[in-house]
Amino acid sequence: MNVERIAPAEALRRVRGGVVLLDVRSDEERVLGMAAGAQGIVAADLLDTVAERFPDISTSLILICQRGQRSLATAEALQARGYRNIASIEGGTERWEAEDLPMQVTGEDPDFLDRYSRQIRLPQVGLEGQKKLQAATVVIIGAGGLGSPAAFYLAAAGIGRLRLIDDDVVDRSNLQRQILHANDRIGEAKVSSAQQALSALNPRTRIDAVNARIDATNVDALITDADVVLDGADNFPARHVLNDACLRLGKPLVYGAVQRFEGQVSVFDAGRQRGVAPCYRCLFPEAPDDAPNCAEAGVLGVLPGVIGMLQATEAIKLILGIGAPLVGRMLSFDALAMRFRETRIPVDPECPACGSAGR
């Protein structure tokens, strides 16, 4: 005996007549809205508890999922256990919504649910993870090549507060790669230009525009409330100052660098994992004497976009506590060869910052 497959409109008619409608999708999917009258229960939980919930196997049940496959499979499993009055909605919730049938929503902010719906559907994120992002503060040093794509994607992803720190102004030569800025904002402070672009993208994200150069006198105050610090600086002294402050304050530091056709990304978390995770000075104890910047060496315009997005990805992972961050690993990208390479960064016991020499 095959499970009955019914259209959403027919299901609604039966539900209004008293038939039980069960939404067997995940919690993350259901929070975005359910068919009116539905009760939410994950398919696996329904199969585990159906005898207690519905001891009468003659009970009429209608199942719905996102597109119809899971509900059909679950209905077939229930039918095998003796439940005969089972139906599955063809096309699932997507078809229900497309036919403009009534929906019921949670008490969450509709803009929040709609804006971040694709992330909330991810089991690794879900509603609680999205709320973590909303509650997070990320400090970005530099509103230029790396800071631009990183900030853009972090704001889009729903980070609640971004603090951008930069003392430069928009120059025409920036526009080839610094995507937060525009031609009509040449001469404007980069943090102000960035604030305009990010606020237009996502008004839910608070943007702190700090027109200053990071140094030893202000770094602690600027990053003390950060959940993650993102390094988009373009010089070694700033990076060393930032690294040392993150060590003192126990902040994870997401590093990125670009030059010509190559870029690098890593996560330095020695402040929270001293002796286990390296810090930036384990890699670069002192600034090289002959390190050119982008103005001197040049840079392919799209390269900071690749590296900045990778930095944003690492920041999101760190906030959510998911995946494997690039702690103790350097990811290098060669745009000409279109090749990624990973190398290990060991903890230096003699590191002047996090090793015995720095204590």
List active site positions.
294
Q: What distance separates the 2 farthest-apart alpha carbons in the chain?
A: 81
Backbone angles phi, psi at 137, to 5 degrees: -120, 125
The CA distances from residue 50 to 64, 286, 333, in Å, are: 16, 65, 52
Residue with tokens 């008490």: 107
Contact 244, 225 (CB under 8 A): no
Tokens coding 168: 């430069």
The sheet with strand 4-6 has its strands ordered as: 4-6, 86-89, 61-64, 20-23, 39-40
**In sequence order, what are the residues at sequence separation of 6 or more whose Cβ sits closer than 8 angstroms to the Cβ of residue 207?**
155, 161, 162, 164, 194, 195, 198, 199
Among candidate residues 84, 78, 18, 88, the one with its CA nearest the CA of residue 53: 78
The CA distances from residue 300 to 13, 145, 303, in Å, are: 60, 11, 6
Among candidate residues 221, 216, 264, the one with its CA nearest the CA of residue 244: 216
Among candidate residues 329, 350, 346, 343, the one with its CA nearest the CA of residue 254: 329
